[in-house]
Amino acid sequence: MSSATGPGMAARRAAVIVLRAVLEQPDEAPQVDVLLADATADLDDRDRGLARAIVTASLRRLGSIQHLLAQLMERGYPRKCGPLEAILVTAAAQILFMDTPDHAAVDTAINLARADRNAAPFAGLANAVLRNVVARKDEVAGYDPLDIDTPRWLAARWRAAWGEPQARAIAAALRQEPGVDVSVRGPAGPWTEKLDGVALPLAPAAAATQTIRLRTTRGIEALPGYAEGAWWVQDAAAALPARLLGVQPGEQVADLCAAPGGKTAQLLAAGGKVAAFDRSPARMDRLAANMRRLGFAPERHVVNLATVAPEKIRGGPYDAVLLDAPCSATGTIRRHPDVAWTKRPGDIASLADLQARLLDCAAALLKPGGRLVYSTCSLEPEEGEQQIARFLERHPQMQRLPVIAAELPGLREAINAAGEVRTFPSMLPDAEARMAGLDGFFAARLQRKN
């Protein structure tokens, strides 16, 4: 795409580049955060923020946008039209779901189209389509979140797994922009005012870390306590697995698949002697940087636990092991809306196979009587409840260690009949959408028999 100038044009051009990669190569494109970092490397903070906001709005409501555009373009997109689809989708997102003035969204889209040799012949078409989007914006409010804004295969899965009401509640919650949660060391009270937040009642008062949900929209690094390492960003649901492990001071703990380190920090704050494992050197470098800011120094091991025999892994056996396994991440779609459009049904089975291998490894690292918490940020039963059922069939030396209501004082409804934890994005309701919800997570606590 050649140059086009004007206020906000660089941000919009970057958003088009990112969205085009997701739309045209969903199975091959890097994560959106990586694409955004590359596309906005030369932009100032304001334009980087605008590009991210446009991409996020486009993906969060991609179903609605594509549904409306399909009605306005009965013949579909012309052949060899370059980035035209991405230009129209990002412009429609601004018109329908952002505070961008309609004329600004339309005019910048036309300029972006004219600046690309393949899209330029269709600038008039783009102008006509977007003016119709403006005229019909009110009807989008009636679009169904499950039937239109959720990929069909995911909607079918959630209906089958959780029933119609819960599937609809999930889809509605995923439309909302989430707030920011942070884990603080010790009691939340002193930090709620400093950080302009609300303490979430999701842990016993004696827990080593507590969660605060921020009201502020200020930049994270500018907030009190960031530079001193007093807290770290971590979704409320993501903070649960490490707490459920119940680490005591001095215990030997293995954190598998540890990067970027939020759970590692929790385990260290609880007094554990922690060994962090991850297969990616780059991810481990990121964990190391986060640990330096927080003043922690865990052991670090770069190893692919799915392919290495447990007896060849350095360290152990351990009193406690945390396995937050790689997964489809469908529980994080509020924060990462690209997940809904880049994952495929076949991914679930391949990821479940990987999780099973990692669970087998985790069990082999435990001392007799040792504890294991397995978790995923997935809404799919194959990666949660069914995974644990199969694991216990393979490992008669392991047993469930059920979670009790006192451990989750504000989320008792998340504990299932087996004593496992299943959170949904629709939990933690609040009158203000940004202060409601949490990631969809599964966690099970197990113990090796003596």
Of the candidates 257, 327, 361, 377, the residue annotated as catalytic is 377
- Cβ atoms of 235 and 438 within 8 Å: the answer is yes
Q: Return the percent helix, strand and coil in the chain, to nearest 5.
A: 45, 15, 40
Spell out where 85-243 has E strands. 180-185, 197-200, 209-214, 231-233
Signed CA dihedral, 318, 406, 417, 438: sign only: negative
Instruction: Choose among 324, 318, 319, 298: nearest CA to 242.
Output: 324
- Cβ atoms of 369 and 450 within 8 Å: the answer is yes
- Cβ atoms of 445 and 401 within 8 Å: the answer is yes
- Report the SS3 class of residue 225: coil
- CA contacts within 13 A on the Cβ side of 246: 14
- Cβ atoms of 306 and 323 within 8 Å: the answer is no
Whether 257 is a known active-site residue: answer no
Instruction: Indicate which residues carry an active-site annotation.
Output: 377
